[in-house]
Amino acid sequence: MRQSIVNLAKLAISAGLIWLSLSRIDSASAFTLLSTLHPGVVAVTVALLVTQHLLGGLRFHHLLRQLQTPISKLAAIDNIFVGFFFNQIFFSFIGGDALRVWRLVDVKIPLSSAFKSVLFDRVLGFVSLITLIMLSLPSLFTIVTDQGMRVSLLVTVLIGIFGTIVFLLMHRLPLYLQRWRLFRIASDISAMALSISGRYSTICYLLGISLLIHITNIVAIYMIALGLGVNANFIDFLVLIPPVMLLAILPISFAGWGVREGSMALALGLVGIQAEQSVAVSICFGLCMVASGLPGGISWLITRKKSAE
């Protein structure tokens, strides 16, 4: 019952934010703009997002090898696609991640190891996104002149850095706290992260491929903008989109819908891009993400059918 209420609240937030975004623009112009997008641009965007999932699979495969729970590259890629598909159709990433854990258990990975590896994979994505925002701050501050927005960005980065440090130190939790299962899991994952962080080549590979995944996202959004005739500068997108992505992954809406549209209109408006164009870009990107996850849905259906037989 409680989960249903949370899910309905997220759906309501997404619907409300989308309505708010559309009510503040000429929505007819935005949808007319979408209708002008060449199918080739959509195809290239979906291909870029599929490439992103493939990169995620390679990262996850390498991570599992480091955690002494190896699976095949194909199984790791399948895991990412299935998780992403369900992230798009469930009310939060928990649904997709639960399916990812189940898929790992299905290939003989212990439940505890499966849960920890999926959570650790999530942490890698978050840390790399904070790193990308931190690296772009000097350029970001040349675009963002409002003092309040600058402070908000700086506080966000500092919270991300602080959270990462706390995460790495959680293996030192007092024993009386580790009697609680949640704290014990956090302590174990922290110890795993600290162990991997000590391997220079491994952490560089994992963070490097994570950064490449985020950049692929940005390139996909930039391609849509160009396809819609937006007068876009790639560097502007490179520094403005990561904060939008960070807001979109917060578990407060349905697959980021609503949050992404509003924050993208605000961010791209700083470089003179019309809100109608920004919202059109965001809607097209969201639909392309759904399309890119379809192989995961097909894979899940095939597996489910075989299990039923």
Residue 7 is predicted with a pLDDT of 52
pLDDT less than 50: residues of the chain: 6
In a domain, 238, yes or no: yes
Number of structural domains found in the chain = 1
**The model scores a pTM over 0.85:** yes
Encoded tokens for 4: 């249903």
In a domain, 104, yes or no: yes
Residue 179 is predicted with a pLDDT of 74
Give the C-alpha distances (Å, rounded to integers) separating 10 from 5, 17, 81, 259, 287.
Answer: 9, 10, 23, 11, 19
In a domain, 256, yes or no: yes
Residue 163 is predicted with a pLDDT of 85
Task: List the domain range (segments joined by +) for residue 202.
Answer: 2-300
* Dist. CA 65–CA 84, nearest whole Å: 21
- Which residue type sits at 87? N
Distance of alpha carbon 65 from its chain centroid, rounded?
A: 23
Eight-class DSSP state of 163: H
Residue 19 is predicted with a pLDDT of 60
Residue 289 is predicted with a pLDDT of 92
Distance of alpha carbon 198 from its chain centroid, rounded?
A: 25
In a domain, 22, yes or no: yes
In a domain, 307, yes or no: no
Mark 88-121 as b/e (b = at least 16 C-beta within 10 Å).
bebbbbebbbebbbebbeeeebeeebbbbbbbbb
Residue 306 is predicted with a pLDDT of 65
